[in-house]
Amino acid sequence: MLTDALRGLYYQGLHLEPSVIREVDDMRADSPARKISQRGLKNTIVDFFSKKNEQRRDFESYTCEFLYGLELELFSECHEYYVQVQPKNIERYGRTSSLTVDFLVFEPGSIRLVECKPHAALERLAAKRPDEWVCNDGTWIRPPVDAWAKDRGLTYTIWSPPQPHGIYQANLLALYGALSAGSDAVSEAACISRLRKALTEKPMTLAAALATFSGLTGGHVLAALIKGYVFGPLKSVPIDEADRFLLYAHRERSDECDALLLAKVQMGAKQPEVNDPVLLASPVDYVYGNERLDRVQRMLSGEEPPTARYRPLVKQVLAAEKEGTSELAVCLTHYGNSGRRTGQLNSDQEQAAALYVTKYRTDPSIRTRTQAHDQLINFCRENGIRPPSRPTFNARIDSLCPTKRAYTEGGYRGFHAAEAASDPADRTQRCLIPGLMVHVDSTKFDERCTPDFLDSLGFDCPTVYIAMDSATERPLGRAVLFGHASRNALAVLIRDVYYRQGFLPRYWMADGGSEYIGLWFELFCSTYGATRMQPPPGAPRRNSLAENALGRINAELAHRFLGSTAPDQKGRSVTQDKKSYATACHCYSTVVEHLDKYIFDDMPSVRHGVSRENASEKNQRLMEVFGNAGVATVRNIDDFLIATSVPLERDIEINRSRGVRYLLRTYSSAELLYQMRISKPVEIRLDCVDSRRMYIKFAAKWVMATTADSLRMGGRDDLVKLFETLTDRRVRNENAQIRNEIRIERVRRTTEANAAAGATSHLAHMADKAPEAAKPIEDKSTRWGDPAEPLLPFDSEESE
């Protein structure tokens, strides 16, 4: 990334006018010029950590813009780039306007504006605006923007991803993971030099290279591909297919092979172009065509006398036989083309039907097609029009895409439920490296589990978070907590993934929940160079790996626990035995134990559909080739613990001599008290598992503080600590309720004791008399030992 001083020198080297520099700086400063959105309901947003920019970049498309961003990171020599920039004062359609361009790229020799569009989108735009989007010999240009850029000494290009894009994207994800993990030192290994020397003689597959050169691993090959030491068909062959992925010493040969293989893949996904009349004939025409051909054959063999009606057909059959073409084709009938060819509705009827079809698709108050047709009938009667029939009206509705009506009725979920499946050629592929990408989601653990477990805690049901590996479909971690989804639960999941796997994924696929899109998770991703992908709302198929896993957990595990359904559980009486927190903790541990057994033992061992491998077998195969190349590693465990602790923003009391007071606990340490004497805390975080541990940030350092009982509790299992953290709030509420009841009872006892002692009996006469003038106070002091006389008031003796 360029500094301000280096950028100034860069502008000077390009010899740009001062006005152009100001325009470029304005575009750079305003990036992103507009907030990215998912209004199209199909695009997946990517919150990307860019090593080239050393900052985060947001991409609006996972399959197009993000793919170009990966290309810039891996293969471009650009200094930096910005997204969603807005050039202004562009002459279009006879007026001056501004627009948004996807990329502003600072290359060594020029500044380039890049628009990213798939081929299908470009063809649609060209059909709408042929003067603005033009294709010349396979190269797309945009004359108004191109002219604006040339006037300022800039360049403008349109980039399209390869079709299909899925293999290329999966390979680039693997390469960028290796780049983020630090591939420079790996690429200089001695085994890479031996491989490069061998490839100058002939290319070899990745599997052959791994078997030939000792010490060579998939991670070395990824690093060599990034540095340009070796080359391969990244657009057409997944790199995890080691026996098919060819390695070359020269880019030209690799590109040539890649183009041939990509063309083969495209041919495999191309729709057939059928021209044979026999194949295009309807079943009725085919049957009658065979009958006519049989009759012609009988006439030619003399079995049946020829007729004048069949004479032209006989000549056509003989001509086809002489030319070597299909004889059946000339005998085919055309009965399939018969029938009504024009519509029976006049223009008024068509307009009325179109009006109420539109209302049915966009008006949520119209619940059914029958209701819409009834309104159409009333409208036609009021305007003197013969109403179309219900089948005709329904046919008009069925001819349109059902997603608009589905969105009107059911919102995002209804839209995606009615959405047509994607073409396999356009689908993205799963990640190729184990542990590199993870799919995360959460759900309520079904209420059909042991009633004492739920009632003793006072919650409806626990929330289960799960992390599924994209490459192997293997569970990497889980979290089981109570209450609503929260960032604390996500922090527990991240820790569980690390403690089980020893690494952190580089790419996180998660929905738009507040815990995923919040500042805390963004800071965590920036700390470990992670990228977050957000599928469109209400689209479970985009995150189906985690969604299906959670569905299986509820269907195959939660429903099998003993206990009744939710209504029956609510009606059960809660005994004192069920209120025991020791019993509740035991139940929690039991459920988590069964859950872990199912997630980490059963799920990886089961094959689904026609899969030849289960998750464990696939993970073992890929680990032998790549290992966990590209994953994020934790170099300092203290950094990781602080990064996965949850910031506190309220209910905090700070005392310089005592420490930090938070929710009836006091956190202190010698280092904390020292730092508080010389500076003020900047940030305070509570450990997501152990509620007796707190981290406080000062200007100079982070310090840890604990509670007074943390030493005794420190040796407990993390599951017990987590359970106590989950139940802290309920314990506080119960203790406050018990304390209030005891206080009220104590007030009652004190009042009764005072009344029994007669302490105010000397004031009884005042309750029956009106106030009188003040009289001298008589000395009514008595001996202390006389219980029959009041003890107060009495005159105190003055000391001599």
Query: Under DSSP, is residue 747 helix (H, G, I), strand (E, B) or coil?
Result: helix
Report the distance separating Cα 32 and Cα 449, nearest Å. 49
- pLDDT at 542 exceeding the cut of 90: no
Q: What's the pLDDT score for residue 636?
A: 92
Sheet harboring 437-444: ordered strands across? 55-59, 45-50, 531-534, 507-509, 437-444, 462-469, 475-482
d(CA 560, CA 554): 9
Residue 458's pLDDT is 47
How much is the pLDDT for 410? 82
Query: Has residue 189 got a pLDDT over 60?
Result: yes
Strand locations in 224-291 (E): 246-247
- Inter-residue long-range contacts of 19-27, CB under 8 Å, 24+ positions, other chains counted: 20/152, 20/153, 20/154, 23/87, 23/88, 23/152, 24/104, 24/111, 24/154, 27/82, 27/85, 27/86, 27/87, 27/104
Asked if residue 363 has pLDDT above 50, the reply is: yes
Residue 585 has a pLDDT of 65
DSSP H helices in 431-485: 451-457
* Percentage of the chain modeled with pLDDT above 70: 88
Q: pLDDT tens across 616-644, in order? A: 999 999 999 998 888 999 999 999 999 99
- Please report the pLDDT score of residue 411 as a whole number: 81
For residues 428 and 165, give the distance between their C-alpha atoms in angstroms, rounded to a whole number.
Answer: 7
Task: Return the bridge partners of 654, or none.
Answer: 660
Q: What is the pTM of this model?
A: 0.81
Position 761 scores a pLDDT of 63
Q: Answer yes or no: is pLDDT of 759 > 60.
A: no
Asked if 51 and 180 count as a contact pair (C-beta separation under 8 A), the reply is yes
Higher pLDDT, 541 or 654: 654
Give the confidence band of 710 by pLDDT, cuts at 50, 70, 90: confident
pLDDT score for 715: 66
Judged against a pLDDT cut of 50, whether residue 448 lies above it is answered with no
Residue 775 has pLDDT above 70, yes or no: no
| Band of pLDDT at residue 144, cut at 50, 70 and 90 | very high
Query: Which is it for strands 702-706 and 693-697: parallel, antiparallel or unpaired?
Result: antiparallel
DSSP 246: E
Q: What is the pLDDT of residue 800?
A: 38
Per the structure block, which two tokens stand in for 544?
């189906």
- pLDDT score of 798: 45
**Average per-residue pLDDT for the chain:** 85
Cα R_g (the chain), whole angstroms: 39
Name the most confidently modeled range: 414-418, 490-494, 611-615, 779-783: 490-494
pLDDT (0 to 100) of residue 306: 87
Confidence of residue 382 (pLDDT cuts 50, 70, 90): very high
Specify the pLDDT at position 584: 59
What pLDDT score does 769 carry?
52
Question: What ranges in 472-580 are assigned the alpha helix state H?
Answer: 487-501, 514-517, 519-527, 544-556, 566-571
Which pLDDT does position 58 carry in this prediction?
93
- Please write down the HEC assignment for all residues of 553-612: HHHHCHHHCCCCCHHHHHHCCCCCCCCCHHHHHHHHHHHHHHHHHHHHHHHHHCCCCCCC
- For residue range 559-588, list pLDDT tens digits in order: 665 433 333 334 333 333 334 556 556 567
For the cut 90, the answer to whether the pLDDT of residue 59 exceeds it is yes
| pLDDT top residue among 190 and 452 | 190
Instruction: Please tell me the distance from the alpha carbon of residue 619 to that of residue 472, in angstroms, as a whole number.
Output: 6
Domains of the chain with CATH codes: 4-159 (3.40.1350), 166-266 (1.10.10), 283-334 (no CATH), 347-418 (1.10.10), 430-625 (3.30.420.10), 645-719 (no CATH)
Region 719-746 average pLDDT:
79
Both tokens of 413, joined, read 């979920």
- Write out pLDDT tens, residues 103-129: 999 999 999 999 999 999 999 999 999
Percent of the chain having pLDDT more than 90? 53
> What distance in Å separates the CA atoms of residue 123 and residue 108, rounded to the nearest whole number?
32
Q: Which two tokens stand for residue 261?
A: 């293989």
Say what the pLDDT of residue 752 is. Answer: 84
Q: What angle do CA 742, 743, 747 make, to 5 degrees?
A: 115
pLDDT at 337: 77
Q: Which residue has the tokens 């059928």?
A: 274
Average pLDDT over residues 177-205: 89
